[in-house]
Amino acid sequence: MTYLSFLKSELLAVFYRKQDTINALAFFLIVITLFPLGVNPSADFLEPAAGGIVWCAASLAILLSVESLFKEDFNDGSLEQLIASGLYLPITILIKLVIQWCAVIVPLLLLIPLFSQMLFLPWSIVHVLIFTLLLGSPALFLVGTIGAALTVSLKRGAVLVLLIILPFYLPVIIFATGAISAAQAGQDYSGQLAILGAISLLSLALSPGMSAVSIKASMN
């Protein structure tokens, strides 16, 4: 097996297992739709809260997507074959993660203008929301991958992943919503965006290696 053949197989796997991606996007849509109905549908409430609503929904949808990242491969034995293939496991994990990120985040970004109008977020702020998702969502995927790797051999690991990973999501959510709030107030938000980028880069440096070690430990 080569990295190119692995890339092709992962693209096909995402296509044939698209239900996981659809579930994550559907969950995001349900949260965005029901929140105004269940709390307060007025523009005065939703406009300042829009950034937090979108990011909380996105975080949970990403967690739902990442939790099953290795489950199917573990169940059908392909994860064990991947470990024995001779390919550098952190790189294969990163390839798998990039494909999953594209499958979830790209459709989400395309729908953001619609969701923003549902939450009365001004058009002048939409690009800031998109920037925060582009810079912050990789960190959520990368951190979530570690939790998915730690619990890959557990039959009911979803709750455990939630408990392990959610505390590490908080800094990303705080700085992302802080950037959006600063933009709404007419203040500079470049510092928050820089911190989001730094968190994603740090996660990129740590996550593939830690996930590989966790998977090998879980397989033993």
Mean local confidence (pLDDT), 24-51:
84
Q: What proportions of the chain, in percent to the nearest 5, are helix, strand and coil?
A: 85, 0, 15
Q: Does the pLDDT at position 138 exceed 90?
A: yes
Local confidence band at 131 (pLDDT 50, 70, 90 cut-offs)? very high
Question: Quick one: which of 131, 152, 155 has its CA closest to 51?
Answer: 131
Rounded to the nearest integer, the mean pLDDT of the chain is 85
Q: What is the pLDDT of residue 13?
A: 76
**What pTM does this model have?**
0.89
Q: Does the pLDDT at position 133 exceed 80?
A: yes
Q: What is the pLDDT of residue 1?
A: 65
* Percent of the chain at pLDDT exceeding 90: 29
Mean local confidence (pLDDT), 76-89:
80
Mean local confidence (pLDDT), 109-131:
88
Q: Are the C-beta atoms of 115 and 179 separated by less than 8 Å?
A: no
Q: What is the pLDDT of residue 159?
A: 67
Give the Cα separation of 119 and 159 in Å (integer): 30
Question: Residue 147, by phi and psi: left (phi above 0), alpha (psi -120 to 50) or beta?
Answer: alpha
Query: What's the Cα-to-Cα distance from 213 to each of 93, 156, 220, rounded to whole Å?
Result: 11, 21, 11
* Tokens found for residue 149: 């790797």
